Amino acid sequence: MMNRLDSPLENLPSVAPDLLIEKRAGIWQISDVSARLASVCNATPERLKGRGLDQVFAQSIPSLSPLAEEAANSGQDLVDIKVRLFPDAPALLADIRYSGLAADYSVQRVQISLRPESVASQLDNGFAGLIGRSPAMREVFRKIELYANVDAAVVITGETGSGKELVAKALHEQGRRSQGPFAAINCSAISEQLLESELFGHEKGAFTGAIRSHRGHFEQADGGTLFLDEIGDMPLHIQSKLLRVLEDGRIQPVGSEKVRRVDVRIVAATNVSLEKAVSDGRFRADLYHRLAVLRIHIPPLRERPEDIPLLAEHFLNYFNQHYQKQIERLTPEAMSILTAYLWPGNIRELRNLMERLVIETQAPAIGGRALAEWVRERQTFQPGGLQLVARPANALVPLGQSPAGPPVIDIELVGDSAPDKIDRESLVEAYRRANGNIAAAARLLGIHRATFYRHLQRLGLDRQDLNN
């Protein structure tokens, strides 16, 4: 009965539940199933009702039972969880919703809705190897498409770790120079004495230690693209030589009397204001005007939190493959921590954290507990950034009447933007708009459910007060 899926399930409903399951005697059982999903299993709904969830979908990746357990314990929906009901089946997106307890409080109920992951939604998450669907990143993608096939110089601005070199590579790979070489040099990472040689090359014997001739980055990038990272730190006398190359396309290696012609497109990047550098006399105004023909600004990660889950999943998949691990996902608690953090190190910092988590995690999912040590380190490194609050899930039973479960990690911002400013009126209004659902009311306020309870305690309120 448990054959592989032979179709991508385009006709699966996107809203109505495909599975209704109940937990009886510690086992999740199927209480109802859609006809379409039953047909995938070569069975009728009647034949599947009453059977164990793990028996019918024993090959599901990830297993459905832990997901149902997580939704039941947290009281929160799990949305867009990628699952494969069978190992060689197309990936589906699962929405898992806790429906509550039966009247006698002995049976937990969960709904599972499945839908295919469309090609369009996958493409909507990035462009040219760059990941993001925020409006700010869509603007970056738009400019890459506009600028890729022209030879005018481009200046990419953005904070350290935001991905400026990736944008430069995308400009190269999407344009007519894609078959040519791509060379990159960090102008702040090389001493002033060596930078000129690295850019323009040198002849044998041009200076002490020049035991052979050397082709500089301009020659290496001939016919392609040269990426000059941190160009704002380039010494003034090298700036003048760079200006001459931009004007006539000719270079003169150190120690040589010959001038060589090169065909190179310049893409430069900086994390400092070139305009301020010009006004301070640290950057030539004529070079600035020659370089800054086209501009692309990469927004910091803190300004596009909707991209954090996409990036985290990308790095999870990458490091799973790199370290031969099989970690399936991050839990909602873990993801809430990632999206709450301001990421001063941007994408590079997120990448490093995900590598650490993949190495350290032995479980099928990365939970909030896995991030506790990292959060403490961030607090020490950047006081006032994040506050980690850990408590048992049933510690607030008098208010929430939630079932006992594993420990819950709650994370919140502290400082001027702290949600401690939430007042009674805000809590009551959110509670009423959510029709008395605490988890939904918390989401309306942009806080965790446990944080909602903590505000009730801070203000001396209980659920009865919310209903009055």
Tell me the per-residue pLDDT of 254-297, one tens digit each, with 9 for 90 and over: 877 788 899 999 999 999 899 999 999 999 999 999 998 899 99
Cis peptide before 8 (omega within 30 of 0): no
Between CA 40 and CA 364 the distance in angstroms is: 26
Tell me the per-residue pLDDT of 73-103, one tens digit each, with 9 for 90 and over: 877 788 878 888 887 777 788 889 888 776 5
What architecture is the 126-299 domain classified under in CATH? 3-Layer(aba) Sandwich (3.40)
**Which CATH topology does 19-116 take?**
Beta-Lactamase (3.30.450)
**Domain assignments of the chain as residue spans, ordered by start:** 19-116, 126-299, 301-383, 384-468
Mean pLDDT throughout 17-33? 89
Phi, then psi, of 186 in degrees rounded to 5:
-95, 115
Torsion of CA 240, 244, 247, 252, to 10 degrees: -150
Mean pLDDT throughout 208-221? 80
CB 232 within 8 A of CB 274: yes
**Which CATH topology does 301-383 take?**
Helicase, Ruva Protein; domain 3 (1.10.8)
**CA 351 to centroid of chain Cα atoms:** 9
Mean pLDDT throughout 243-254? 88
- Bigger pLDDT: 192 vs 383: 192
- Confidence bin at 435 (pLDDT 50/70/90): confident
Report the pLDDT value the prediction gives residue 102, as an integer from 0 to 100: 62
Tokens describing residue 208:
């002490």
Residue 14 has pLDDT above 50, yes or no: no
- Confidence bin at 105 (pLDDT 50/70/90): low
Between CA 83 and CA 59 the distance in angstroms is: 10
- Confidence bin at 389 (pLDDT 50/70/90): very low
Tell me the per-residue pLDDT of 298-356, one tens digit each, with 9 for 90 and over: 999 988 988 999 999 999 989 999 999 989 889 888 888 898 888 989 999 999 999 99
For the ranges 52-66, 163-177, 220-234, 450-464, which has the lowest average pLDDT? 450-464
Report the pLDDT value the prediction gives residue 214, as an integer from 0 to 100: 79
Q: What is the DSSP string of 241-267?
A: HHHHHHHH-EE--BT----EE---EEE
Instruction: State how beta strands 154-157 and 265-270 pair.
Output: parallel
The answer as to CATH 1.20.120 being correct for domain 384-468 is: no
Mean pLDDT throughout 406-411? 40
- Looking at every residue in the chain, the average pLDDT score rounds to 81
Which 3 state secondary structure label does DSSP give 290? helix
Contacts of 34 (CB under 8 A, 6+ apart): 12, 13, 16, 17, 18, 19, 45
Report the pLDDT value the prediction gives residue 139, as an integer from 0 to 100: 93
CB 267 within 8 A of CB 157: no
Instruction: State how beta strands 108-116 and 19-24 pair.
Output: antiparallel
Report the pLDDT value the prediction gives residue 413, as an integer from 0 to 100: 37
Residue 388 has pLDDT above 50, yes or no: no
Mean pLDDT throughout 115-140? 74
Alpha-carbon distances of 133 from 78, 184, 347, rounded to whole Å: 20, 27, 15
Mean pLDDT throughout 204-229? 83
Report the pLDDT value the prediction gives residue 164, as an integer from 0 to 100: 95
Query: The whole model's pTM is what?
Result: 0.66
Look at residues 117, 78, 120, 108 and name the one whose alpha carbon lies nearest to residue 95.
78
